[in-house]
Structures are given as structure tokens and as C-alpha cells.
Structure 1
């Protein structure tokens, strides 16, 4: 769904899970604030802080919706450090200007229209004025007096808003880029365990026995009648035996081999180029000066 299609109305925005521009989860969307003039959603409040007890204003400028996710253009840190505004009240122009300045945005079209929560069908100030008029009529006050009281209240609030706007007219916001380094896991290769068959020559020693022939001579004693003399040719033989090596093979398991992974952490230096803004000012002598962070050599007095 495109941005234009998603944010022409507040339908479906409340309850989405908000993520910052790096994909880090911020919190759940609670309220949607509409432009009083166009009726289009301009801001949402997102639960932040410990246990989600705080609501921070986040601009819908540059945001996009993906199913049940709302991806905003701001960072989670910027959302957490946004100016504190009561999420249940009407968003006044000076408050919205502070929010735009915090996020480094320009108010679209230069409009000074206040924003109201989408859940409220009308401006909270107007509702209070109507209630005041009704109460005045019940106490004997005329309808004209009730309207005059509402007008005086609006004039007072408008004057305070103009003073706040004038106080910010001579200011500008200096921004700078900061490195946000995270980690992501990627596939760097494969380790394979493979079994192959190889041949090798093995030598071993084995004892072998064999029979040998030797001649034994034994004299015949006189008077041994069992032995007769027999003159003539004669032969006899003896069978000889010997052991020989017989080789056979058998397969036996000898060990188990497996692959295991081990996570090793090492430190790597990451460098990049960041941009930052520098404030230059021309003094009364026409000399140009440049200052870095906050122009710290100038003491600022209390603002009235």
C-alpha cells in the first residue's frame, strides 16, 4: 500500500506496530492526529519508555505502511527524545512547531492549523467553549455573553501562541549525522563432512612354525630279539608340516566424527563520513563567524 493511499484517513492506523527507519521496533500506535483544515492524518502517538507508559509524537511525513507495520522516517532515539506533549489534548501550533523542529521537518504549506486527535470529532477548545456557553445559560448568562467569554479565552490562547512563535523566529536548529552501527547475520560459507575410502599398506609380524627332519641314531642292545637283521635295500618317509600366514579383512568402527559450530566474537573498527551543520552569523561589524556545537562561547540569558 502506498503512502498516499494509506494516510488519506486515520482508518487502520491505530493499533499498528511502529518501526523506525532502520527497522527497529518503537512501539504501538495509540492515537492519530488530524489536520483541522484538511482532515488528513499528520501525526501519531506511539507508546515508548519503560513498559510503554509514555506516548511520543511521530510525524507521518515519509512514513509507509506494510500490513500491520508502520515504518516511519525518524529514528527510535529521536522519537524517545521528542518534546513532551500531552497526548490527550489538542496539538497547538507552537507545540507542533517544536515537534517539527525536533524532527528537522518543515511545516507543510506553512499552515498554522492546529491538529486534533482522530478519536475526537471536534476541537477540544471548541468543545470547552460549547460547554462553557451551556453552563452560562443555565446560570442566567445570555448566549451572547457565553460567546464573548469563549472569544476572550480563544484570544488569550492565540496571544500565548503568538508569543511562543515570536520566541522561536530568531532560532534555527543545527543538525548532524551520527553513526548507528548494528550487526546482522549473513551466510559466509559451508562446512562439509565427507567420508572417502583410501588404501594404505600395512605391515605386521606373525610367528609361523614348521617341522624339520633330523636323524636320530640309537644303538641296538645285545639280546634285543625284537629287532631282526635284514640285509637289503629299504626306504621310509616322514610327512613334514609348516604354518603359513593367512590374511583376511573385517570392518570395525573406530570413531565418531561430527561438525559443530562455535561463535567467536571479535572487534572490528567501522568508519564512515558523516555530515553536520555549522551555524554562521554576521556580527555588527560585518564579520562572519562560524561556530560548531551550540555556539558555547555565547551566554544566553533567560527568555521571557
Structure 2
């Protein structure tokens, strides 16, 4: 008696690791204003009045007593004026990039085990 061979395909699970892009963190560029004291020198000038006496012929003469009637002259002075304005000084950019690394993953995998059972009629 000839016995036909029997075949079975045995299979098993294989573990593969892949990646999926998921949100990790959020970043925000924020501008904060700080105030500091700055000292800037400013040159100021003022007018100064001086009385010069000249006689009728054009030669200078010494001081005379003040007369009761006369013209008034307004003297001026420079006053410092403080102002500020915002000026662009720097451009800041947030750049993202990828950092490569490895991670170990672990899982249970199943596999099939083929056993043979021989009954009394099949034993030769």
C-alpha cells in the first residue's frame, strides 16, 4: 500500500517596524519688549545778549546808563526733545528639521507548529 504524501504550509508572523508622523510639540515665536535706560548726549545752544555802544562816528564807546525807553529783544534757547521710533534690527526665523535616531520595538509574534499524529492503521 502506497501512502500519498500530505503537505501543509506553515506560516508565522513577522515583526516589522515602520514610522508614522504624529504631532509631537508646538512651537511659537513670541516677541517681548524690554525697556532700558539710554543716555544720549544732545548739544544745546542759547542766545546771549550783549550791548555794544557805538558813537555817531562808529567808534565804540563805554557803557552808558540805561535809558527808560527801549526795544525788547527775545532770546531763544534750544530745548532737548526726546522721541523714539521702532526700527527693524533683526529678522528671526523658526526652522524645523528632522533628527534621526533608532528605537527598539517589542511585540509577541505567533507561529504555527506542525506535528504529526500517526494512527494505528498508518504505522507500517
TM-score (norm 2): 0.53
Instruction: Tell me, in whole angstroms, the C-alpha distance in 1 between the residues paired with 2:63 and 2:22.
Output: 105
Q: Which has the higher contact order (CA 8 A, sep 6+)?
A: 2
Structure 1 residue 247: Cα displacement = 0.7
Q: Give the structure with the higher percent strand.
A: 1
SS in 2 for 1:166: coil
Structure number with bigger Rg: 2
Residue of structure 2 aligned with 1:193, choices 29, 38, 42: 29
**RMSD after superposition:** 4.1
Structure 1 residue 173: Cα displacement = 4.0
Q: Kindly report which structure 2 residues correspond to 1:125-204, keeping only aligned pairs within 5 A, or say none.
A: 166-168=4-6, 171-195=7-31, 198-204=33-39
Structure 1 residue 180: Cα displacement = 1.8
Structure 1 residue 266: Cα displacement = 1.4
Q: Kindly report which structure 2 residues correspond to 1:43-192, keeping only aligned pairs within 5 A, or say none.
A: 166-168=4-6, 171-192=7-28
Q: Give the structure with the higher percent helix.
A: 1
Structure 1 residue 178: Cα displacement = 1.3
Structure 1 residue 239: Cα displacement = 7.9
Can you give the 5+ residue segments of structure 2 that lack an aligned partner in the other structure?
49-58, 68-72, 118-124
Q: Deviations over 1:78-99 (max 9, x none)?
A: xxxxxxxxxxxxxxxxxxxxxx
The match for 1:257 is 92
Number of matched residues?
Answer: 101
Q: Deviations over 1:244-265 (max 9, x none)?
A: 3211122322233333321222
Alignment of 1:271 onto 2:106: yes
- Shift in alpha-carbon separation, 1:208–1:240, aligned structure 2, 3 A: farther
- Shift in alpha-carbon separation, 1:226–1:210, aligned structure 2, 3 A: closer
